[in-house]
């Protein structure tokens, strides 16, 4: 089992800090087809020092109900102890399946161990095909894919919350063998865990997605959906430290009435002249409007901000959004070479996934 390491200031996947959930709040309103949560994690006693743009890595646990179904395919007692092949520490079968294993992958090494020659959507379907596994647990464990950490942009500044971090977590499902399955990390944080659940985590610093050193530098932040998370941290930091640089946020989602994350906060900053706010809600009108469309509409202002030394940030979906925004910037600046030069000069920074 993972144990707390509160006596050290250096944490990692092998030796995480054990935090707890302070709050988990659904941000979407009635009528939304999304479920995105504001999650606050307590870091009291960790001495973790983070900066805007950094991430928190969370090591999730599998759904106990799924683990119990898997245990029914073993002849071994669920509390049977064996040596974890990665940590070399004794662990029970139940704990191993719940905290150490990716249950959605069926590695070829496992198929070879079981003498199977077909594909399976997940570990449960694989074990169901053999009915009962009675072999070596050490050999079985060696073949499995490990549980990997999930990385979330920190959505708060230490200036505002020195002993906790806020995360913006979108839940989702994917089809596996005709069955909808929730995302492991988001399901763990937003559904399975409560305020008594140990949350293994560690700090993942960023080297590139940082606020400018000069507090007078203007910034343009482009981030639909959960891509807005680091910008909330940026704004909290700049306001708390009295930075005089202008802040411009272009936020996009589906519907303004139910998908406007941190709406009250951002509108309050706008009213206080601490933020220029533009939004793109794709389903509020017949024609889809995305963040790149707002960017193009404001192209004269964008060019002026760039001339004034602004840094542009893009955070969120890599496959479509980031590509479309870069194409729009190329249109605004005249060619792709200008965009490449901004990236070279570190005046165009991306955090996409």
Query: 2 phi and psi, to 5 degrees?
Result: -75, 135
Q: For residues 57-71, give the mean pLDDT.
A: 98
Whether residue 324 has pLDDT greater than 90: yes
Please, what is the end-to-end C-alpha distance for the chain in angstroms?
30
- Crossing angle between the packed helical segments 336-344 and 323-333, to the nearest 10 degrees: 110
Q: For residues 95-100, give the mean pLDDT.
A: 98
**Per residue in 247-257, pLDDT tens?**
999 999 999 99
**Per residue in 280-314, pLDDT tens?**
999 999 999 999 999 999 999 999 999 999 999 99
- Burial (CB count <10 Å: 0-12, 13-18, 19+), residue 324: middle
Whether residue 9 has pLDDT greater than 80: no
> In this structure, are residues 225 and 316 in contact, taking their beta carbons and an 8 Å threshold?
yes
19-24: which pairs have CB atoms within 8 A and are 24 or more residues apart? Answer: 19/43, 19/46, 19/198, 19/199, 19/200, 19/201, 20/195, 20/196, 20/197, 20/198, 20/199, 21/189, 21/193, 21/194, 21/195, 21/197, 21/199, 22/164, 22/195, 24/189, 24/190, 24/193
Reduced to 3 states (helix: H, G, I; strand: E, B; else coil), residue 28 is coil
Question: How large a percentage of the chain has pLDDT more than 90?
Answer: 95
Residues 66, 98: Cα–Cα separation, whole Å: 9
> In this structure, are residues 216 and 243 in contact, taking their beta carbons and an 8 Å threshold?
yes
Half-sphere exposure of residue 55: CA atoms within 13 angstroms, side-chain side: 20
> Lowest-pLDDT range, 78-82, 110-114, 180-184?
180-184
Residues 176, 184: Cα–Cα separation, whole Å: 13
Give me the pLDDT at residue 214, please. 97
- Alpha helices for 11-134 (secondary structure H): 64-71, 93-99, 108-114, 123-128
Query: 39 phi and psi, to 5 degrees?
Result: -115, 125
Whether residue 4 has pLDDT greater than 90: no
Q: Percentage helix, strand, coil, to 5, in the chain?
A: 30, 25, 45
**Per residue in 206-249, pLDDT tens?**
999 999 999 999 999 999 999 999 999 999 999 999 999 999 99
> In this structure, are residues 104 and 122 in contact, taking their beta carbons and an 8 Å threshold?
yes
Domains and CATH numbers, the chain: 17-61+148-204 (2.40.30.10), 64-143 (no CATH), 219-352 (3.40.50.80)
Give me the pLDDT at residue 5, please. 41
Question: How large a percentage of the chain has pLDDT more than 70?
Answer: 97
Q: Give residue 257's region: left, alpha or beta (phi > 0; psi -120 to 50).
A: alpha
Give me the pLDDT at residue 179, please. 84
Q: For residues 151-175, give the mean pLDDT.
A: 97
Give me the pLDDT at residue 2, please. 43
For the whole model, what pTM was predicted? 0.94
Whether residue 7 has pLDDT greater than 80: no
Give me the pLDDT at residue 175, please. 87
Give me the pLDDT at residue 1, please. 40
Half-sphere exposure of residue 88: CA atoms within 13 angstroms, side-chain side: 0
Residues 186, 35: Cα–Cα separation, whole Å: 10
Give me the pLDDT at residue 65, please. 96
Beta bridge partners of residue 248, listed in sequence order: 220, 276
| Cβ burial 183-204 (10 Å sphere, 16+ → b, else e) | bbbbbbbbebbeeeebbbbbbb
Q: How many CB atoms lie within 10 A of CB 300?
A: 9
Q: For residues 170-175, give the mean pLDDT.
A: 93
Whether residue 3 has pLDDT greater than 50: no
199 — pLDDT class (breaks 50, 70, 90): very high
Residues 62, 5: Cα–Cα separation, whole Å: 22
């Amino acid at each position: 089992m993972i144990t707390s390491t509160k006596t050290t200031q250096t944490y990692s996947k092998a030796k995480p800090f054990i935090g707890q959930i302070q709050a988990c709040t659904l941000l979407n309103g009635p009528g939304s087809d999304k479920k995105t949560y504001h999650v606050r994690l307590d870091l009291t006693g960790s001495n973790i020092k983070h900066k805007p743009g950094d991430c928190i890595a969370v090591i999730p646990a599998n759904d106990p109900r799924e683990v119990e179904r898997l245990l029914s395919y073993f002849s071994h007692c669920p509390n049977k102890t064996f040596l974890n092949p990665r940590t070399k520490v004794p662990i029970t079968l139940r704990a191993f399946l719940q905290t150490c294993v990716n249950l959605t992958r069926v590695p070829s090494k496992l198929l070879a161990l079981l003498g199977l020659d077909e594909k399976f959507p997940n570990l449960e379907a694989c074990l169901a095909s053999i009915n009962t596994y009675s072999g070596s647990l050490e050999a079985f464990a060696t073949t499995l894919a490990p549980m990997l950490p999930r990385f979330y942009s920190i959505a708060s500044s230490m200036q505002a919350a020195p002993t906790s971090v806020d995360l913006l977590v979108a839940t989702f499902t994917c089809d596996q063998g005709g069955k909808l399955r929730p995302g492991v990390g988001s399901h763990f944080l937003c559904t399975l865990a409560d305020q008594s659940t140990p949350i293994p985590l560690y700090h993942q610093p960023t080297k590139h997605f940082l606020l400018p050193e000069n507090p007078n530098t203007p910034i343009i932040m482009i981030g639909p959906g959960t891509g807005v998370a680091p910008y909330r941290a940026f704004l909290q930091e700049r306001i708390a430290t009295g930075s005089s640089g202008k802040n411009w946020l272009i936020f996009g989602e589906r519907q303004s009435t139910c998908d406007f994350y941190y709406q009250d906060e951002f509108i309050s900053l706008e009213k206080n002249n601490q933020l220029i706010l533009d939004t793109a809600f794709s389903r509020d009108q017949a024609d889809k409007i995305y963040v790149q469309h707002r960017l193009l509409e404001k192209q004269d202002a964008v060019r002026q901000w760039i001339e004034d030394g602004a840094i542009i940030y893009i955070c969120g979906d890599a496959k479509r959004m980031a590509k479309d925004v870069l194409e729009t910037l190329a249109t605004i600046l005249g060619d792709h070479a200008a965009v490449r030069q901004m990236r070279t000069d570190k005046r165009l920074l991306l955090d996409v996934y």
